[in-house]
C-alpha cells in the first residue's frame, strides 16, 4: 500500500472533478493530497511518513474517509530561499 486505489464511483460522488484535492483520514490520521488517475485507475499516494502516522502497513486492507479539500493551498517560502530565488536569473519570474 504505497497508494490507495479509489473506486471511480467514489471520485464521481465527490463531485469535484477527476483530480480533486482531498483530505484522507486513516486510523485517525489525516493528510491532504490529490487524487491521481493512472491507466484508468484513481489513486491516492500515501507516503511512508503518513503510513507510519496512521499505523498501517504496505499490503494491509484499510478503510479510509475521503472528503474534498476546499481550503486554499499556499506555500510559505523561507526568507533565505526567497532571497536566493530573487537573485537567480533563471528564476527571475519570482516577484
pLDDT at 76: 87
pLDDT at 93: 57
User: Would you say residue 68 lies in a domain?
Assistant: yes
Phi-psi region of 35 (alpha: psi -120 to 50; beta: other; left: phi over 0): beta
pLDDT tens sequence across 37-78? 999 999 998 899 999 999 998 888 888 999 999 998 888 889
Q: What is the Cα–Cα distance from 95 to 93, expressed in whole angstroms?
A: 6
User: Would you say residue 51 lies in a domain?
Assistant: yes
- pLDDT > 70? residue 23: yes
What CATH number has the domain bearing residue 15?
A: 2.40.30.100
Joined grid coordinates for residue 19 = 483530480
pLDDT at 64: 92
Range of the domain at 17: 3-87
Amino acid at each position: 500500500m504505497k497508494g490507495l486505489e479509489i473506486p471511480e464511483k467514489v471520485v464521481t460522488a465527490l463531485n469535484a472533478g477527476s483530480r480533486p484535492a482531498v483530505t484522507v483520514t486513516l486510523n485517525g490520521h489525516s493528510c491532504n493530497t490529490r487524487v491521481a488517475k493512472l491507466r484508468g485507475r484513481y489513486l491516492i499516494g500515501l507516503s511512508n511518513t503518513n503510513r507510519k502516522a496512521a499505523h498501517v502497513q504496505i499490503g494491509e486492507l484499510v478503510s479510509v474517509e475521503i472528503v474534498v479539500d476546499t481550503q486554499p493551498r499556499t506555500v510559505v517560502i523561507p526568507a533565505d530561499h526567497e532571497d536566493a530565488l530573487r537573485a537567480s536569473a533563471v528564476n527571475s519570474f519570482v516577484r
